[in-house]
Amino acid sequence: MTAEHPRQALFEPEERVACALPVCDHYSGVEPRMRKSLALQAELGPVFDVTLDGEDGAPVGGEVEHAQLMAELVDSADNRWGRVGVRLPALEHLRFDEVVDGLVQRAGARLAYLALPKLRGLADLQRAADKIDAACRRHGLARAIPLHGLVETHGALREVQALAAHPRVESLSFGLMDFVSAHGGAIPAEAMSAAGQFDHPLVLRAKLEIAAACHGHAKTPSHGVVTEFNDLAALKAAATQACRRLGYTRMWSIHPAQIRPIVEAFAPSAQELALAIELIGAAQAARWAPIRHRHDGQDRLHDRASYRYYWQLIERAERSAAAGGPALPANLRAAWFGPA
């Protein structure tokens, strides 16, 4: 009898499972850097997303022209893996509609997602979705472009559960700098640093609420930036805390040097992967019934709940292997994920 695949055995068909997004979301907004980002993604594979920045990356007064450039890049052969999205200007920006229309007309079929900054709550999200969908209909595009929301205002944090529940949203990101600024000086500048953002209670509360909302609605929580881009040790420590302590499954990069450390921090260790492979193999052999397995010096009981955890760890390893994470043995990779 052929062993049932873990995905079929452990998850019900109707069960909501978060979209398996790459663990790193790399932002770039200046043309040379956007082109370099696409070249690096083509080389490494879809282990990180590229988000072309139409908010902070666009020159003032040149937002529509910048959108045309981004659309050209999304629709080009440089977008080898189909994992390129765009951050739009804020919904209230005077050129928002023109930017959306230009992107959808030229590159709507190939946009991996559109990121929405400065959301003030669910009403803003719905208005933006309506405008994007209207542009799709106008240009004959029969798809609903996935949306990524930025939680960086008091209103967005207040309505974070509703944002995460919205069917068009696949990820929510924490906008650290704008969130701190929105407090009018009540949160000190240290709370925007690599270490300080994990210590200040108001910042930590926001991060936890976003992560909890996302997991509750099967969406991907994405951790924000570390601005000290030359301090890779600080970045690695922040990424490890975001992943291991706060439950984030994705993180922003703002410099190419940050990509590999983020992917490595979010990948399971070689020891964790070896245990997961062992347990899933034993579970398959037992046809997913409970088993006793000895590890960490103790006999432990495992059942479908822990099998699910270890299978998801294996999936995470598969998504990060090309950028330095531990790799599955070739035979298991072929059996579980198909040929390379």
Q: What is the pLDDT of residues 28-76, one digit of tens each?
A: 999 999 999 999 999 988 889 999 999 998 889 999 999 999 999 999 9
Position 1 scores a pLDDT of 46
Position 45 scores a pLDDT of 87
Position 16 scores a pLDDT of 65
**CA nearest neighbour of 244 among 266, 262, 226:** 266
**Letter string b/e over residues 276-293, b meaning 16 or more CB atoms within 10 A of that residue's CB:** bbebbeebbeeebeebee
Contact status, residue 273 vs residue 321, Cβ threshold 8 Å: no
Position 205 scores a pLDDT of 97
DSSP code of 287? T
The residue type found at 297 is G
Residues 24-266: name the CATH superfamily: Phosphoenolpyruvate-binding domains (3.20.20.60)
Using DSSP, state whether 24 is helix, strand or coil: strand
| SS3 assignment for 219-262 | CEEEECCCCCCCCHHHHHHHHHHHHHCCCCCEEEECCHHHHHHH
**What is the secondary structure of 132-157 as a DSSP string?**
HHHHHHHTT--S---EEEEE-SHHHH
Domain with CATH 3.20.20.60 in the chain: 24-266
Contact status, residue 198 vs residue 205, Cβ threshold 8 Å: no
> From CA 129, how far away is CA 107, in angstroms rounded?
17
**What is this structure's pTM?**
0.90
Q: Which residues of the chain have pLDDT under 50?
A: 1
Contact status, residue 260 vs residue 294, Cβ threshold 8 Å: no
**CA nearest neighbour of 166 among 201, 217, 215, 128:** 217
Radius of gyration in angstroms for the set of CA atoms belonging to the chain, rounded to a whole number: 21
> From CA 183, how far away is CA 152, in angstroms rounded?
11
* Contacts (Cβ under 8 Å, ≥6 apart) of 100: 88, 114, 131, 132, 135
> From CA 39, how far away is CA 174, in angstroms rounded?
27
Position 340 scores a pLDDT of 58
**CA nearest neighbour of 106 among 64, 146, 144:** 64
